[in-house]
Structure 1
Amino acid sequence: MVVRLEELVVIMDQEFALENFGKDPAFSRFLPDAYDSVLFDWKSQFEFPFTQRFNGLLIKGSPFVHRIFLAVFPTDHVLEHFIEKSSEGDLLFMHHPLLMECGDPRGRWGKGFVPIKENWIRGIKDKKLSVYTCHVPLDYHSSLGTSAAIARILNAEIVDGLVPIHVNKTPLILICHIDPTDTNSLIHSLKQIFEIPYVDFDGQKHPDIQKIAIVAGCGDKVHWMEAAEKKGVHAYITGEIHCHIDNAYGREKFSAMKEFASTTSMSLIGVSHSASEYLVKKTLIKEWLEHTIGIETVLIPQEKWWL
């Protein structure tokens, strides 16, 4: 099925309530800093509504969309694959408009936010492709959200939440009941679900886990974990439990988390930032686009989840 880009953008903007959310609190800060650091005139190169909200249509291609490619971060691999495998008018739907090098808990620490290279932007425009990104509005979506996708695949019952947003009263952190399990079994399941070679683990191992907290992406905030623990959570599942960004900010956060981890009773499990957010694309978002809109989708998994 072919969909007019103009109509598709309206559907997606409305589904994720972009106008209600206003400026993305993260990328309205990080995107200008990243592109200004390399002297790239992002305001003239990206669509005007995006430069105001930092969500939505980033690059506008041909007026008819045949396929939507789904990814999380704009890595070189993802963008090269999109440009090579796409046809004029196809659209790339990502969670981030910047690459986020979060670092590898068993390898190299990351650089933090990295802008899309100018050659990829030029390649996308030359082929008349489109790019759409949605960050906070996707995280908070009640049925298509990043954490909601994790809860569904774990067959978890959502019973409470933390960090609600005023726009739709949906919590960012989901507190859930699950069938009884133990830490090692839960880690084994998560490695299979997210297709990762290892998790980042800290805290305590439990023989009987029945209550969990879920927050996709960067859940490495001590006050969030403290609040979850007060609600009786046994395991805290997120993308990043430790910040491995190689700067003063990253080292300070890492130190604070290590101190908390030495005292907590919870199992703290990180499945990588990108993998935790890719799950929603290959499940809920793919289903929504194909069944509700009727358009073909193509998945682009990241070449390395711990990046």
Structure 2
Amino acid sequence: MQLNVLVNKLDTEFDIESFGKDPAFSRFIPEVYSASKVDWPSIFEDGFTQLFNGLMVKGAPEVKNIFLAVFPTDHVLERFINESVPGDLLFMHHPLLMECGDPQGKWGRGFVPIKEEYLEKVMEKQLSIYTCHVPMDYHKQLGTSAAIAEALNAEIVDGFLPDENGNPLVLICAISQTDTSSLIQKAKDIFDLPYVDFEGKDAEGIEKIAIVAGCGDKVDWMQQAEQRGVQAYITGEIHCHIDNDYGKMKYKKMLEFAKHTSMSLIGVSHSASEYLVKKTLIKEWIEREFQVQPVLIPQEKWWL
């Protein structure tokens, strides 16, 4: 594959220019890399430094293999560097590692930059990195939340927080009647988890759920879902376990909401919730569009 053809296809499919600057990473990339003294504007492609989506690091012009991952953890980057050949491309959801914390372990540090040594190795080997954040979250067919709905055999019937095309960020779905315990077990199976994060009520007769991949730990989103008759709210993070004042404030606010909600609140980890689309819908799309078998790189630990 020619790198420019592959990049143009990804840019067009996810319509990254129409979304403008990524609201999260246009803020956090300058913050974390400036603190680490890495000259990120000279490393990352000019287009990426404007949109904070798209081709991030440009390697050789011909691509043999496409690797799929979510966060640039050390484990993910080491596998990509070691298993690739010059020109290969890593397609991730996040351009930064996000340590979200473990509900049964340590709290996380929040956004963490890619270590300079890994960036140097990527450039030395002439590898490419492409990331797509908000445009993928909203994508109707290849979206992070859409993949969860498909895995749960859920029918999208409503939603809120739409983009300019009317595609919602939070999906409201109808499912075959179930209960909290069964839904948790199904989530553990789908996302390959030892445990979920849980708050709220154990419920019977669940037929209406909300789905939002990634950080769904926003009380106002949960309130909107509950007002729409949702009985279970499934997301990457129901609690913020980031070890700073902001994280502790959000955690306290969420605990207060959980005391009174009628919903089951189920967190499946930020990274696992967003990796699902890579190993299902994105993998199938790449096989179909480029006649190549992508290399999947799951995270070494989903709760991080």
Task: Specify the TM-score bucket, using the shorter chain as the normaliser.
Answer: over 0.9
- Normalised to the residue count of structure 2, the TM-score between the two structures is 0.99
- Give the secondary structure class of the aligned counterpart of 2:294: strand
Q: CA–CA distance in 1 between the matches of 2:253 and 2:291? A: 47
Deviation digits for residues 119-147 of structure 1, max 9, x if unmatched? 00001111111000000000000100000
Q: CA–CA distance in 2 between the matches of 1:57 and 1:135? A: 12
Q: CA–CA distance in 2 between the matches of 1:174 and 1:296? A: 30
**Residue of structure 2 in register with 1:180 after alignment:** 177
Residue in structure 1 matching 2:137, options 136, 139, 151: 139
**Residue of structure 1 in register with 2:32 after alignment:** 34
**1:97 maps to amino acid:** P
Shift of 1:296: 2.5
Shift of 1:165: 1.2
- 1:113-128 to 2 correspondences below 5 Å: 113-128=111-126
Q: CA–CA distance in 1 between the matches of 2:278 and 2:23? A: 22
Q: Which runs of 5+ in 2 are unaligned?
A: none
Answer yes or no: is 1:209 the counterpart of 2:219. no
**1:198 maps to amino acid:** Y
Q: CA–CA distance in 2 between the matches of 1:37 and 1:240? A: 26
Residue in structure 2 matching 1:221, options 188, 207, 218: 218
**Residue of structure 2 in register with 1:299 after alignment:** 296
Answer yes or no: is 1:284 the counterpart of 2:284. no
Residue in structure 2 matching 1:252, options 222, 230, 249: 249
- Normalised to the residue count of structure 1, the TM-score between the two structures is 0.98
- Give the secondary structure class of the aligned counterpart of 2:78: helix
% identical equivalent positions: 67
Shift of 1:293: 2.2
Conserved 8 A contact 1:66-1:296: no
Q: CA–CA distance in 2 between the matches of 1:85 and 1:292? A: 23
**Residue of structure 1 in register with 2:187 after alignment:** 190
Deviation digits for residues 30-64 of structure 1, max 9, x if unmatched? 11101001111111110000000000000000101
Deviation digits for residues 223-276 of structure 1, max 9, x if unmatched? 000000000000000000000000000000000000000010000000000000
Residue in structure 2 matching 1:59, options 57, 60, 77: 57
Structure 1's consecutive aligned runs of 4 or more residues displaced over 6 angstroms after TM superposition are none
**Residue of structure 2 in register with 1:24 after alignment:** 22
- Give the secondary structure class of the aligned counterpart of 1:262: helix
